[in-house]
Amino acid sequence: MGLHLCLFITIYLSVSASIFNASSALSEAENYDEQALFGECSSAADCKAGFYCFSCGLLDSKCVRSMYTDQFQLLNNSLPFNKYAYLTTHNSYSIEGEPSHTGVPRLTFYNQEDNVTQQLNNGVRALMLDTYDFEGDIWLCHSFGGKCYKETAYGPANETLKEIEAFLSDNPSEIVTLILEDYTKEGGLTQAFTKAGLMKYWFPVSKMPRSGKDWPLVSDMVAQSTRLLVFTSIRSKEKAEGIAYQWNYMVENQYGNGGMTEGKCPNRGESSPMNDTTKSLVLVNHFRSIPLSPLSCMDNSASLLKMLNTCHADAGNRWANFVAVDFYKRSEGGGSFQAVDVLNGELLCGSDDVHDCVPAGSPRAAASYGRD
């Protein structure tokens, strides 16, 4: 423990010293209202809507973004699902401060700070969940060897599925994607989704495009209320249960430290190469193998934007649809929210900010960041 703490502080201080660079942070966020972004603050009340008061490391607190830009509200939702980008949380269920549900203390890492309802309310639209058979039910667990333990379990999946159901029910124009690292037996997920009242939102595998074709229009998915996309890592479940096998539809770069080398965007083992355009969805992972919240504000800032460009080139000039991060609200300014604005801007109008896609003269040109 002592050694770890000491090592941690050493890494933390050296990274802080080399990365906190006001001029690069400024250029990263030059499109933003400087008062809102760089104004020092002592509480959320000092920041405008869509921002919160946060200190990245040892610096003074500043107002940084805490909320996405709703591209559908800013523009429209008449394009195919794969023409938009969505903020994605890695291990969305692994939340600091959530009590143990097994009676023994947890001995594992945390990847997020907000609960799933807060994540969704702030604009997260894809959740990465690890599902296991445990204690006679399906649990969310961060484990190894395909087996969940009391020390690594977070909680029964039903609670999280209920939060997702509540969000879809309260927000009839929103689409949520679940990406499951799945260790459950056949049949269990269908039963869990049915119990949670989620089957009524199910987007059927039969409508998922193969051979690199476009997805259905978001407006049609909303009209038909097929607003829940679920991908599993178990191939046989697509045929057996109608749960999409992720790697038939999506390419993804290496996760963890292997995906954070500047200038490189190798595919993860299970995925086709990034430039396999027969899969029409692209996911970029950008988080460390071992999550450390104090470092994530840098990981979610300038280096994330660089990686999106690298992966764009390596994915056959395709911008990511999903960008997956830890501690999604931590940043030096625009963070993961700005990253998604960049992606939506590139996808929708070839500009590096979705706000540039608003036609000149439109009443929405004055729309502010986020959803005030």
Listed residue (123, 126, 82, 76) closest to 320, CA to CA:
82
Q: How many residues are recorded in the chain?
A: 372
Contact 57, 16 (CB under 8 A): yes
In the window 258-277, what residues touch ligand NAG (CB under 6 A)? 273, 275
Is 137 a residue that touches ligand NAG (CB under 6 A)? yes
Q: What are phi and psi of 357, to 5 degrees?
A: -85, -10
317 touches ligand NAG (CB under 6 A): no
Answer whether 110's CB lies under 8 Å from 163's CB.
no
- C-alpha–C-alpha distance, residues 275 and 346, integer Å: 18
Only segment of 19-27, 43-51, 54-62, 304-312 that touches ligand NAG (CB under 6 A): 19-27
DSSP string, 115-154: -HHHHHHTTEEEEEEEEEEETTEEEEE--BTTB--TTTEE
Site for ligand NAG in 142-161 (CB under 6 A): 156, 158-159
Q: How far is the CB of 206 from ligand NAG (least distance, A)?
A: 27
160 forms bridges with which residues in the sheet? none
Structure tokens at 104: 């023994």
Q: Nearest to residue 342, comparing CAs of 331, 357, 332? A: 357
Closest CA to 173 of 217, 222, 221: 222
To ligand NAG, the closest distance from the beta carbon of 238 in angstroms equals 25
Contacts (CB under 6 A) with ligand NAG, residues 22-61 = 23-24
Give yes or no for residue 73 binding ligand NAG (CB under 6 A): no
| Residue with smaller CB distance to ligand NAG, 93 or 205 | 93
Does 357 bind ligand NAG (CB under 6 A)? Our answer is yes
Cβ at position 278, least distance to ligand NAG in Å: 11
**Ordered alpha helix ranges (H), the chain:** 2-19, 22-28, 34-38, 71-74, 116-121, 157-170, 188-195, 218-223, 236-241, 293-299, 302-314, 335-349
Nearer to ligand NAG, 148 or 244 (CB): 148
Nearest approach in angstroms of CB 109 to ligand NAG is 20
State in angstroms the smallest separation of the CB of 262 from ligand NAG: 13
Q: Is 21 in the site for ligand NAG (CB under 6 A)?
A: yes
Q: Write out the binding residues for ligand NAG, residues 164-203 only, by CB under 6 A.
A: none
Q: How far is the CB of 156 from ligand NAG (least distance, A)?
A: 4
| Cβ nearer to ligand NAG, comparing 151 with 276 | 276
Following DSSP, what letter does each residue of 173-193 receive, concatenated? T--EEEEEEEEPPTTHHHHHH
- 130, 163, 182, 346: which one binds ligand NAG (CB under 6 A): 163
**CA end-to-end distance (rounded Å), the chain:** 44
76 binds ligand NAG (CB under 6 A): yes
**Pick 155 or 256: Cβ nearer ligand NAG:** 155
Among 31, 108, 118, 226, contact with ligand NAG (rule: CB under 6 A)? 118
Q: Which residues bind ligand NAG (CB under 6 A)?
A: 21, 23-24, 75-76, 78-79, 115, 117-118, 137, 156, 158-159, 162-163, 273, 275, 316, 348-349, 357
